[in-house]
Amino acid sequence: MHALPAPENFRLHIEPDSGIGWLLFDRAHKRNAFNLAMWRALPEAVETLTQQANNVRVIVLRGLGGHFGAGADIAEFETVRAGRAAEDYDRIHERSLKALEQAHVPTIAMVEGYCLGGGLAIALACDLRISADDALFALPPARLGLAFPLDALARLRTILSAAHAAELLFTGERFDASWALRTGLINAAYPAKELEAHVRKRALRIAANAPLSLKYAKAAIAALWSGRLNEERGTLQALARACYESADYEEGRRAFLERRTPVFRGR
């Protein structure tokens, strides 16, 4: 594998907060365009949050400064995404997205402003995408002479029809939140000033549910929508068994009978 330089001036923050693990992109001067150092740091950030099982039940990804992510940082492409080095870049890029996609807890992309290229690839690797009503979405590889990675396209395939995916890829144009909502690219859209409150409410609702049930549901959705049910059946059965054998299942039953809110411990 070819050595790749590590660009400076990247910032990726993690902030656990009442069951929510906030993963914040802080490169506002570049509209949160991801550089190589950020791609490299993303898996560790996700792992750090998911290891805090008692404190983090759901991860929310957000770009600071008004934009989710304007794609990959084109300014460094000449050195890190040219020739054979491009293959290494793509491997690092995909490893980051897989770490997010395979996180054991649900993930939400809180989308503001630009969600373009690599930024949209990150959002596609999340379980839910909740957007401001003035956000913009695009896949511009055709305008740069690039190919959008196959694994990222596979994620897009589970969400959009072939015609809508073609519209994104063939035109490279920016589509608004109403288009994204109509095509199923996003789950919901809210006025920008209300977005954080709505995302927090949704995240807290998820965080209040039984973690083992959420882990099973996420794995089952991934297996079913990828056509890997037969390969993953044993794993899914074990996850389901863990739910039935858990203290949380007993707590859920008792809370229902006692007409109170359950307190789940993830065990």
Are 99 and 201 in the same domain? Answer: yes
pTM recorded for the entire structure: 0.92
Sequence-ordered list of residues with C-beta below 8 angstroms from that of 65, at least 6 positions apart, any chain: 26, 28, 29, 31, 32
Count structural domains, the chain: 2
CA separation for the pair 64, 61 (Å, rounded): 10
Are 52 and 78 in the same domain? Answer: yes
- Which of 190, 207, 224 terminates a domain? The answer is 207
What is the residue range of 118's domain?
Answer: 12-207
Task: Give a yes or no: residue 6 inside a domain.
Answer: no
Could you read off the pLDDT of 207-224 as tens digits, one per residue?
999 999 999 999 999 999
- Which of 167, 189, 207 terminates a domain? The answer is 207
Q: What is the CA radius of gyration of the chain?
A: 19
Burial 195-229 (b: 16+ CB within 10 A, else e): bbebbbebbeebbebbbbbbbbbbbbebbeeeeee
Are 43 and 117 in the same domain? Answer: yes
CA separation for the pair 187, 185 (Å, rounded): 7
Residue pair 132/111 in contact (Cβ under 8 Å)? The answer is: yes
- Which of 207, 230, 248 terminates a domain? The answer is 207
Are 144 and 235 in the same domain? Answer: no
Residue 71 CB: number of other CB atoms within 10 A? 24
Residue 97 CB: number of other CB atoms within 10 A? 22
Could you read off the pLDDT of 132-185 as tens digits, one per residue?
999 999 999 999 898 888 888 999 999 999 999 999 999 999 999 999 999 999
Are 143 and 53 in the same domain? Answer: yes
1 has pLDDT over 70: no
Q: CATH number, domain at 69?
A: 3.90.226.10
Are 172 and 160 in the same domain? Answer: yes
